[in-house]
Amino acid sequence: MENHMFAQLFTDIASLWAKYHTMYLTGILNTLILAVVATLIGCVIGFICGILQTIPCGPKDNIVKRVLLKIIRIIIRIYVEVFRGTPMILQAVFIYYGMPYFFGVSFKDIWTVSIIVVSVNTGAYMAESVRGGIMSIDPGQFEGARAIGMNHLQTMLYIVLPQTLRNIMPQIGNNYIINVKDTSVMFIIGFNDFFAVHKMVSGAVFKYFPSAFLEMGGYLILTLVASFLLRKMEKRLAGKSNYELVNTDTLTMSAGTYSYPRDAASPFDETSKDYKGEKA
C-alpha cells in the first residue's frame, strides 16, 4: 500500500514537471535573481548603517556633529527595529498598497517593489551584523590607524571593513539562504517566484501535495548548493590553515657581520681618531 502511494506521488510529480517545467524553471530563476540582488543591496544598506552607528563621537566634538549623529542613530534604530520586528509579507503589503494610499505613489513594476522590500528587510538584519563585526575589531587597530594619520573613513575602508567582511561572511550567506526561502511571500503582491508557480499549478490541476513536494525539493537543492558555495568562499577568504615561517631574511644581515668603512668612521667608533672615550 505504501509503495503504491509513493509510486503515485512520484508519478504525479513527474507529470507536473513534464507539463509545467518551464514555469517552474522560470520561478526558480526569478527567485535566485531576487535573492542575489536583494542580498547585495541589503549588504550595502547594512554596511552604511553599521558605519554610521560606529562613527566616534565624544563630548569634545562639535555640538552639530553630536546632534546629527544622535538623530541618525535614532533613525537607524527605528528602521532596524521596525523591519526586524514585522513579517516581510506585511512589509510587502504596506509598501505596495500603503504607498499609494498615503502618498499617492504607485508601483507599476512588481520587480522594483519586490527588490525594495527584500533589500530593506535584509539591510535591517545586516546593520546589526556589521555593527557587531566592526566592534569586534581590536581597538588597537583603530589607534594604530590614527597614529599614522588615517581619518575615520580611511580606517574603515582599508583596515576595518575588509576584516569585518570576512568575519560576517557566514551571516551574509545565512541572509542569502533566508532570502531564497522568504521571497516566497512576494506572491502576495503578484511576484512570479518559485512558490507562486506552485500556487498556480496546484490550482490548475488540483494536485497540491505533489506540487508542494516538488517545491520543497527545489528549495532544498537551492539552499544546499548555496551553503556549499558559501563554505568554499569562507575558506578562501580565511586563507591557508598553516603558514611557513621565514627563518632567515636575505635583506637582514646577521649580527657581527657588518663592519663600518674606515673612511666613514663615526665619532662614537672606538677606531675613530675623534673618539674620546667614556667620561668618568
Q: Given this model, what pLDDT does residue 150 score? A: 86
**What CA–CA distance (Å, rounded) separates 203 from 175?**
31
**What CA–CA distance (Å, rounded) separates 273 from 275?**
5
Q: At what angle do helices 2-53 and 110-135 cross, to 10 degrees?
A: 60
| DSSP of 243-269 | -PPP---TTSPPTT-----GGG--TTS
Q: 257 lies in a domain?
A: no
Other C-beta atoms lying within 10 Å of the C-beta of residue 126 = 28
Instruction: Using 70 as the pLDDT threshold, list the residues of the chain that sit under it.
Output: 1-3, 239-280
Q: 182 lies in a domain?
A: yes
Q: 272 lies in a domain?
A: no
Q: 41 lies in a domain?
A: yes
**What CA–CA distance (Å, rounded) separates 45 from 124?**
8
Q: 277 lies in a domain?
A: no
Q: 264 lies in a domain?
A: no
Burial class of residue 42 (count of CB atoms within 10 Å of its CB; 0-12, 13-18, 19+): buried
**What CA–CA distance (Å, rounded) separates 240 from 206?**
53
**Tens of pLDDT along 19-54?**
888 999 999 999 999 999 999 999 999 999 988 888
Range of the domain at 26: 20-238
**Identity at 141, one-letter amino acid code:** Q
Q: Given this model, what pLDDT does residue 159 score? A: 87
The residue written with cell numbers 548555496 in the block is 226
Other C-beta atoms lying within 10 Å of the C-beta of residue 208 = 13
Q: Given this model, what pLDDT does residue 243 score? A: 55
Q: Given this model, what pLDDT does residue 66 score? A: 87
Q: Given this model, what pLDDT does residue 32 score? A: 94
Q: Given this model, what pLDDT does residue 239 score? A: 66
Domain count, the chain: 1
The residue written with cell numbers 674620546 in the block is 276
Q: Given this model, what pLDDT does residue 204 score? A: 82
Distances (CA, A) of 156 to 54, 150, 161, 200, 266: 10, 10, 5, 48, 45
Q: 65 lies in a domain?
A: yes
Q: 158 lies in a domain?
A: yes
Instruction: Indicate which CATH number applies to the domain containing 118.
Output: 1.10.3720.10
Q: What is the pTM of this model?
A: 0.77
Of the candidates 224, 223, 201, which has an alpha carbon nearest to the alpha carbon of residue 35?
223
